Structure formats: C-alpha cells, structure tokens
Structure 1
Amino acid sequence: MPGGLAARAEHLSEVMDDPRCDPAGLERTYAAFDTVNRVVSGWRQVYTRDLRPWLIRPGGATLLDIGCGGGDVARHLTRWARRDGLTLQITAIDADARAIAYATAQPAEPGVTYRQAMSGDLRREGQRFDLVISNHLLHHLSAPELTALLADTEAVCTGLAVHGDIERHPLAYAVFRAATARTFPGSFIHVDGLRSIRRSYTHAELAAVAPHGWVARRQFPFRNLLTWRSPSKAGLGNRPDWRDGQA
C-alpha cells in the first residue's frame, strides 16, 4: 500500500468539522452527501439484506442513526420501508448543531425525527431501539471514542447494529480523487473525502479493534461494516423471503 495510505492518518482533520468553516461550503457538502452516499455507501443493500427482516413484524421497528449528518441516509431508509409497506420510525442524531439545522430544513420525511445529541445522551436516558446504524462515523473517532460508541450501541440496541464506513484502499483513494476532482464545486467533498479515506480502517485493522461480539464484514465497493446482534435476538432478523428491489 502506498506510503500515504500505509497507516491510518488519524492526525488529519476534515474541513467540515471545523466550527469556523465556510457555512455555504458546509451546506453544499451536506447537500452533496445524498449523491455521494447513493454511489458509495451501499445502504440499499444493507437495508434489504440486514435491516428489512427486522421490520417484518407487527408494529415494524425503531432505528437510531448516530452521526446522521444531513440526514439523507435516514430519509432513504424510511422511504424504502414505506414502499415495502413496512413501518420504520427513525431517530437521527448528530452532535453538530449545523448538521441538525440542515437536516430539519429539508422537506419533512414521515417517520424521521432529528435531534442534536450524542449516543451517550440516549444511553443515559434509557432509550432503546431495535436497530442502530451509523454512516462514515467510525473513521472520525479516536480509540476511546470508538470504544464508547460501541458500548453505547450495545446499551441502546435491542436487535441489530450496523456501523458502515469506508475501507482504506489505494484504489478507493485513486477512484474518489479522479471522480470528485471537478464535481461538487464549492463543497468540501473532494478534500474531506480523501482525508476520510486516509483516516479509515482497512478490514484487517477494523477486525483487530472490534470488541467481543462485534463482527467486521466487507461490502463492495471498499466498505467496512461493523455489526453486532443482541444476544437475546440471535435467531431473529434472518428471514430470506425478500427479494432485493430497486433503489
């Protein structure tokens, strides 16, 4: 692996995380997440394979989206569930007030509630959710923060947790650099995306830091999924009677 990608670049910070960053650039970045996540994040596959089986029961399911950013993943999940005739109630949280302000300014999506909070806040409140997810959050965290996130997840999740992130890989870096060099003008997508890849785990690294009970899985293209299933629900959520639909 090239020298710049040989190890996690934990020292790098992303422009959008700077509280003093350009507000217009930040808003364009949140708006661009919808397109970027459609292409690279693979949540349609995660929904059909991993999440949807938990919704096929009376009353549907509840889901916590941690670090929701602009809220696009939460909005897509609830739309897919509604198209399938299923019920999904989502609480989407982010520690950054700017993210929540952007998300709440978008057209309301039935079943999605936004809140400025951290996972530890919901844990202390005694909140419980059938499903817990995050998208592109793990690479932002220090080792103690990752440990805390996973502990909070286990405390609030009664079913299945899926934390999805980028897998650090030279081809992923090269493709993203070429694909975004002239796209999303005025946003931080190009710079922050490359920094995100450099900060991300390889599959082997994520597997090595995964606590007992957590499983690191790969998903095409260049995706890491860190998953956990509540011991009390180990036999649920595996129904094979759904075919994948259109995104």
Structure 2
Amino acid sequence: MTLRGWRRRAEHLPELMDDPACDPAGLERTYRAFGTINALIAGWRRVYTRDLRPHLRVRGGGSVLDIGCGGGDVARQLARWARRDSLTLHVTAIDTDARAIAHARTGAATGVTYRHASSAALRAQGQRFDVVVSNHVLHHLSAAELAALLDDTEALCTGVAVHGDIERHPLAYAAYRLVTPRLFPGSFIHVDGLRSIRRSYTAAELAAVAPPGWTARRQVPFRTLLTWRAPRD
C-alpha cells in the first residue's frame, strides 16, 4: 500500500470476529489472546496511573463503565490495580456481542460485573459512573456511531472518560504484520489486527470530529486517547 492509501480509514474492511457466523473456536482463541495483546500495546497501566487513579483517589474509589469490553481483560486489570491501591472500585463491563460477555464471565474477577448491554441502554436507564472507558472500540465505528458513543459517554460519566484505541500508521501495520503471524495460532489476532490498524482513526481525525470538551492525543506506541472531563458544577 502506498502512503497515499493511509490517508483515509479503511472503514469497509470487515473484521473476522465481528461476523456472527465466524468460527467459534477461532473467536474463543482470539478472546483469550486479548489479555496478552492489550498488556503489550494498549497502555492501560499508564492511563490508569495518570488519568484514572488521581480522580478515583479523591473518592477512595468509585464506579467504572467499560464499554465494548471484549474478553473482559481490561476491566479485570483495572479492578486489580485499584485493589492494590486500596481503592474500592466496581467495574461494569458491557458489550453488545453476547459471545464476548459469555467469554468474559469465564474470567470473572472481584469487583467486576459483565452485562450484555449497550451504552445507549444504560443511558436510557439513567445510570451514571465516575469513570467511563473503552479499549479498541473507536475503530469499529463510523463517524455517526462515534458521535453517538461520545454523546452517551457524556450522559453516563460524572468524572473522567478515556477511549483508547490504535492509531492508523504504516509503521504500526508493518511491525504488527512482521511480529504476529505465528504468535496466536488458530485465532483472528493477525488478520483482524491488521484490519483494525487500517480502520483506525488518527489523533488528528479524532480531534476534527470530537465535540467541544473532548481532547484527542497520541500515546506511544501508535495509540490514540480521546478524553473528556465532566464540567464542575
């Protein structure tokens, strides 16, 4: 692919795991691999210590909503870090894919509840959370879907919101293509990861489409963070 081809998101590329008819064994292996992948590249430890923990410490803990939780590993990790910091934290992890929730519940952890639900449904119920996060969700969304997610986030969040994702970049694609082919056999990690990179937003694109009050920034390596803080009364 030429550099010109990287100027726009490849929104048309389907990911194998999003297919309702995909191989169940391959999907299960993919969910199991997420913990390793996210630990290596997602950077949530840095996000937790820099963006989330200072807010939670003021209250001694609080509530977190993880939107599009996938295999549930990020939700479990946030709960573990909070316990180590003596914070009382409850994480509600949601996904609109029932297969993801079924898998996530096999790795249930203290302080984490998994629900088959959407952000819109929780908003309609009037639920509120101190912190709202998502991991690797934004690249699945069109511009209209992204706008709806951010609108839901503002309605659901009373404190800090962080949506973390991959940043589209040819070097990220080349490195991922080189490293992952043999690491997770029988899973969708290699194919879907490459497609995810091509589908992803850049920080500049997120900044251009995000509503007022949201901040898009980059995080090494090849990450985007879209953040928001609830206005003080």
Q: Give the corresponding residue for 2:21.
A: 20
Change (3 A) 1:153 1:143: same
**DSSP 3-state at the match of 1:57:** helix
- C-alpha RMSD over aligned residues: 1.1
Structure 1 unaligned residues grouped into runs of 5+: 234-247
Q: Distance in 2 between matches of 1:79 and 1:42?
A: 15
Structure 2 unaligned residues grouped into runs of 5+: none
TM-score by length of 1: 0.92
* AA in 2 matched with 1:134: S
Q: Distance in 2 between matches of 1:179 and 1:52?
A: 32
TM-score by length of 2: 0.97
Q: Give the corresponding residue for 1:66.
A: 67
**DSSP 3-state at the match of 1:232:** coil
Q: Give the corresponding residue for 1:227.
A: 227
Task: Select between 57-66 and 218-227 the one with higher mean Cα deviation.
Answer: 57-66
* AA in 1 matched with 2:9: R
Q: Distance in 1 between matches of 2:180 and 2:3?
A: 20
Q: Distance in 2 between matches of 1:58 and 1:152?
A: 23
**1:200-225 alpha-carbon deviations (Å, 9 max, x no partner):** 01121111111111100111110100
Matches within 5 A, 1:168-247: 168-232=168-232
**1:47-101 alpha-carbon deviations (Å, 9 max, x no partner):** 0000001221345110000000010000001001111111111000000000000
Matches within 5 A, 1:1-247: 2-106=3-107, 108-232=108-232
Q: Give the corresponding residue for 1:242.
A: none
**DSSP 3-state at the match of 1:105:** helix
Asked if 2 retains the 8 angstrom alpha-carbon contact of 1:64 and 1:92, the reply is: yes
**DSSP 3-state at the match of 1:114:** strand
Q: Distance in 2 between matches of 1:58 and 1:164?
A: 24
Q: Distance in 1 between matches of 2:174 and 2:49?
A: 29
Overall identity of the aligned pairs, in % = 72
**DSSP 3-state at the match of 2:58:** coil
* AA in 1 matched with 2:8: A
Asked if 2 retains the 8 angstrom alpha-carbon contact of 1:169 and 1:222, the reply is: yes
Task: Select between 123-132 and 53-62 the one with higher mean Cα deviation.
Answer: 53-62
In the alignment of these two chains, the number of paired residues is 232
